[in-house]
Amino acid sequence: MTSERVTLRPEIAAMAPYQQGKPAAAEAFKLSSNENPFDPLPSVREAIAEASVNRYPDALAVALRERLAERFGVSAAQVQVGSGSVAVLSQLITAAASVGDEIVFSWRSFEAYPGLVAVAGATSVRVPNTPDERHDLDAMAAAITDRTRVVIVCSPNNPTGAIVTRDEFDAFMATVPASVLVVLDEAYIEFVTDPSAVRGTDVLHAHPNLVLLRTFSKAYGLAGLRVGYAVGPAYVMDAARAVAIPLSVIDAAQKAAIVSLDHEDELLERVTHLGALRDEIWQALVAQGWNSPRPHGNFIWLPTDERTLEAAEVFARHGIVVRALGEGVRISIGEREAVDNLLAAAAEVVRDL
Ligand SMILES: *Cc1c(COP(=O)(O)O)cnc(C)c1O
């Protein structure tokens, strides 16, 4: 036996393995992964039960792509489906960027971005959020160089919950070179009620370098099945398909996604409920003295700075599993039964901050 190790890409060897939201203890509420607390609809369960297992799935997810194309007023060629929207984002980054290329995104934003960029061999350019935890789109535009291949805009932003407004987005897009791909990550768009927020569907057709990224994981409650999608120019979607690992989107996921679109009204009622609960919890937190940005997704951001790990422990003691992310904790909106414990823990933390 030799102690020699194989040679890995150093930037990959240096990466921390994926950190999942902690599993909740038996009596605890898992509010660490922005999951949907509702059980699947009976029709979704049926679709999953009927899905093919011994056969490979439809590699091109034709039925689902056609269905999505119809709703976005585009062709099926302008839709790419992946095993989670993170997979589609990875395809887009890999298709557009490699060693020496730059990907611009706000920070703090979605934890997955830096890793996807590193895997492509490209370089992350993180543009700090404004003091009120929003994207600084002027600074993001200023960060674009000849090396920039992709800019990711996340609205609502995970984990701070802030939106980009339509006006901000329009002004930003006017400054971005046509050769730079802009990905608008709308993982939480269904939870947005603010009329000033940018909506991808309103701006997609105005920008030939824009791709929308959406998911069935959050509002539609299919996180465990892994299905998300992008909508954008056909040649960009073709490039994403070219780098995708074929057959990753299983039949159960394709079928469950279609049934979810069939029963969208029922699912969006749940979204409305979660949005109302979010606003109620946020108001109670503000009343406790928290300086928390107004939330627009299915989660709330509490700035805890250097007390973050301590704060997460206080929540855990109250049976609430949160996500500790550097300068703050992110708390998902889940079961109503969790609210009393959540607020009791938050009151304890804010008192000591
Ligand atoms: C949850 C999330 C996604 C979606 O992930 P899936 O791979 O579709 O489950 C994408 N972007 C952001 C910002 C998210 O928070």
Tokens 């329009």 found at: 170
Question: Is residue 78 predicted with pLDDT exceeding 60?
Answer: yes
User: Ligand 1, residues 35, 88, 110, 152: which to mutate, most atoms within 8 A of Cβ?
Assistant: 110
Q: What phi, psi does 162 have (nearest 5°)?
A: -75, 150
Please choose from 32, 185, 300 the residue to mutate so as to test ligand 1's pocket, defined by most ligand atoms within 8 A of CB. 185
Of the CATH numbers 3.40.50.300, 3.40.50.2000, 3.40.640.10, 2.30.130.40, which one belongs to the domain with range 44-262? 3.40.640.10
Residue of 301, 295, 288 lying closest to 353 (CA atoms): 288
3-class SS at 123? strand
For ligand 1, whether the C-beta of 332 sits within 6 Å is: no
pLDDT band at 21 (very low <50, low <70, confident <90, very high): low
If you search the block for the tokens 């992310």, which residue do you land on?
325
223 lines ligand 1 (CB under 6 A): yes
| Ligand 1 atom nearest 154 alpha carbon | 13
Kindly report whether the peptide bond that precedes residue 156 is cis, defined as omega within 30 degrees of 0.
yes
Nearest CA to ligand 1 atom 2: 187
> Would you list the domain boundaries of the chain?
10-30+265-352, 44-262
The third-level CATH classification (topology) of the domain covering 10-30+265-352 is Aspartate Aminotransferase, domain 1 (3.90.1150)
Phi, psi dihedral angles at 39 (to 5 degrees): -70, 155
- The answer to pTM > 0.85 is yes
Q: Where are the alpha helices (DSSP H) in the chain?
A: 10-13, 42-50, 62-72, 85-96, 112-119, 137-142, 166-175, 200-203, 234-243, 251-262, 264-288, 308-317, 339-352
Pairing of the two strands 148-154 and 123-128 = unpaired
* Residue with CA at minimum distance from ligand 1 atom 14: 187
Q: Is the CB of 106 under 6 A from ligand 1?
A: no
Mean pLDDT of the chain: 96
Residue 24: pLDDT above 70? no
For ligand 1, what atom is nearest to the CA of residue 83?
7
| Lowest pLDDT segment from 18-32, 84-98, 123-137, 239-253 | 18-32
Q: Is the CB of 186 under 6 A from ligand 1?
A: no
CB-ligand 1 contact for 110 (6 Å cutoff): yes
Mean of pLDDT values over 271-300 = 98
Q: What is the CA radius of gyration of the chain?
A: 20
CA dihedral for 216, 236, 110, 9, sign (positive or negative)? positive
Residue 22: its pLDDT value, please?
Answer: 65
Query: Does any ligand 1 atom lie closer than 6 A to the CB of residue 158?
Result: yes
Is residue 21 in contact with ligand 1, taking CB distance under 6 Å? no
For the CA of 85, the nearest atom of ligand 1: 8
Residue type, 234: A
CA of 283 to the centre of ligand 1 (A): 26
Over residues 82-132, the pLDDT tens digits come to 999 999 999 999 999 999 999 999 999 999 999 999 999 999 999 999 999
pLDDT tens per residue, range 117-172: 999 999 999 999 999 999 999 999 999 999 999 999 999 999 999 999 999 999 99
Strand partners, 151: 104, 182
Distance (Å) of CA 186 to CA 153, 168, 248: 9, 16, 22
Q: Identify the weakest region by mean pLDDT among 2-11, 174-183, 337-346.
A: 2-11
Residues 6+ apart with CB under 8 A from 13: none
What average pLDDT does the segment 209-225 reach?
Answer: 98
The 10s digit of each residue's pLDDT in 287-325 is 999 999 999 999 999 999 999 999 999 999 999 999 999
Give yes or no for residue 270 having a pLDDT over 90. Answer: yes
- Residue 187, ligand 1, Cβ within 6 A: yes
| pLDDT value at 2 more than 90 | no
